């Protein structure tokens, strides 16, 4: 699920297609504190490290990469990841330690040696596009105590409102946990504001928010399309009085609602979820 959602984001489809795949509350990304409560395989630490690095939470990504190193040993990819993180942080001496270890690998050694030579010539790699992208969203803050995913994502956005992954993951987190009120309140954080249509799943969540009480409205004149409001009413009619534990709504898939947020909210989230 973690890998799937990351792939959907990088293909520009997260807020369009995420419910075409099995989802559950809390299943978007595990933050470091969660791992102490679970028996997480070593490879999962690498996946989570990659996600946090994509989000710009560099210290969290580094910590998870070190845990993967402890569990799995000095695998080439782990050494590459730790070298890259230290380059992003402007610590070329630390990066060279990992590249030196990698240079002894039969397969990856030649490339690592070239990277070492390049690092000696350009220690801070200002011209490297991958390094520049990582630094643009980089946050070096460490969290004391329990890490809350929502707070972590908001901190990344406050540092750089152009951090598209932090924004989409925050919306996805609200979708997965049923917090449609927060999605509606933040509708104007969409890049381009009213010039950009709401992604389908976002619009379906806003429709549910508007239908949840009298007098609810959106800021800045934003509106939900008539078609989305109709689809919500149609799905509600099909669902009747079904409870989440009753499972998927019969006929929802054939009617085109199987991958909608309406179907997820009915079949997965608990009754009385946040609105």
Query: What is the rounded CA–CA span in Å between residue 129 and residue 118?
Result: 15
Whose CA is closest to 2, among 49, 59, 68? 49
User: What are 60's two structure tokens?
Assistant: 């969290």
pLDDT bin (cut points 50, 70, 90) of residue 144 is very low
Whose CA is closest to 188, among 171, 204, 200? 171
The dihedrals phi and psi of 202, each to the nearest 5 degrees, come to -60, -45
Confidence at residue 8, expressed as pLDDT on a 0 to 100 scale: 94
Residue 274 and residue 178 in contact, taking contact as beta carbons nearer than 8 Å: yes
- Tokens 């890998």 belong to residue: 3
- The total number of residues shown for the chain amounts to 275
Residue 162 and residue 189 in contact, taking contact as beta carbons nearer than 8 Å: no
Residue 235 and residue 250 in contact, taking contact as beta carbons nearer than 8 Å: no
Could you tell me the residue ranges of all domains in the chain? Answer: 32-136, 163-267
Q: Look at residue 4 and tell me whether its pLDDT is greater than 70.
A: yes
| Topology (CATH) of 32-136 | 1.25.40
Q: Which residue has the higher pLDDT, 2 or 77?
A: 77
Query: What is the rounded CA–CA span in Å between residue 136 and residue 57?
Result: 11
Confidence at residue 44, expressed as pLDDT on a 0 to 100 scale: 84
Query: What is the rounded CA–CA span in Å between residue 229 and residue 237?
Result: 12
Q: Look at residue 108 and tell me whether its pLDDT is greater than 90.
A: yes
Would you report the helix, strand and coil content of the chain in percent, each value rounded to 5? 60, 0, 40
- Tokens 């596009």 belong to residue: 129
User: What are 226's two structure tokens?
Assistant: 């008539």
Confidence at residue 267, expressed as pLDDT on a 0 to 100 scale: 76
- For 162, residues 6+ apart whose C-beta sits below 8 A from its C-beta are 136, 191
pLDDT in tens, 22-64: 898 777 887 655 565 556 677 888 988 999 999 999 998 999 9
Confidence at residue 268, expressed as pLDDT on a 0 to 100 scale: 74
- For 183, residues 6+ apart whose C-beta sits below 8 A from its C-beta are 171, 174, 175, 202, 205, 206, 209
pTM of the model: 0.84
Query: Which phi-psi region, left, alpha or beta, contains residue 86 (left: φ > 0; alpha: ψ -120 to 50)?
Result: alpha
pLDDT in tens, 202-254: 999 999 999 988 788 887 668 899 999 998 988 877 766 554 445 555 555 44
């Amino acid at each position: 699920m973690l890998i799937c959602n990351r792939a959907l984001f990088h293909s520009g489809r997260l807020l369009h297609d995420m419910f075409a795949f099995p989802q559950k509350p809390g299943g978007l990304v595990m933050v470091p504190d969660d791992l102490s409560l679970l028996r997480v395989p070593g490879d999962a630490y690498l996946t989570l490290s990659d996600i946090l690095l994509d989000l710009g939470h560099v210290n969290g990504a580094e910590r998870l990469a070190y845990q993967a190193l402890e569990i799995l040993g000095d695998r080439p990819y782990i050494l590459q990841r730790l070298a890259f993180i230290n380059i992003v942080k402007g610590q070329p001496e630390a990066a060279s330690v990992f590249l030196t270890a990698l240079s002894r690998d039969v397969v990856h050694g030649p490339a690592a040696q070239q990277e070492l030579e390049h690092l000696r010539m350009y220690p801070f790699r200002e011209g490297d596009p991958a390094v520049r992208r990582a630094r643009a969203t980089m946050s070096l803050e460490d969290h004391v105590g329990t890490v809350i995913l929502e707070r972590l994502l908001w901190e990344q956005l406050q540092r750089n409102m152009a951090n598209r992954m932090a924004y989409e993951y925050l919306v996805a987190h609200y979708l997965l946990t049923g917090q449609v009120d927060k999605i509606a309140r933040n509708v104007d954080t969409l890049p381009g504001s009213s010039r950009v249509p709401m992604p389908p799943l976002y619009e379906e969540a806003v429709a549910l928010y508007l239908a949840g009480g009298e007098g609810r409205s959106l800021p800045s004149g934003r509106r939900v399309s008539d078609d989305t409001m109709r689809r919500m009413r149609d799905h509600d009619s099909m669902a009747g009085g079904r409870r989440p534990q009753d499972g998927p709504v019969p006929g929802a898939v054939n009617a085109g609602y199987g991958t909608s947020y309406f179907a997820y909210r009915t079949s997965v989230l608990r009754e009385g979820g946040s609105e």
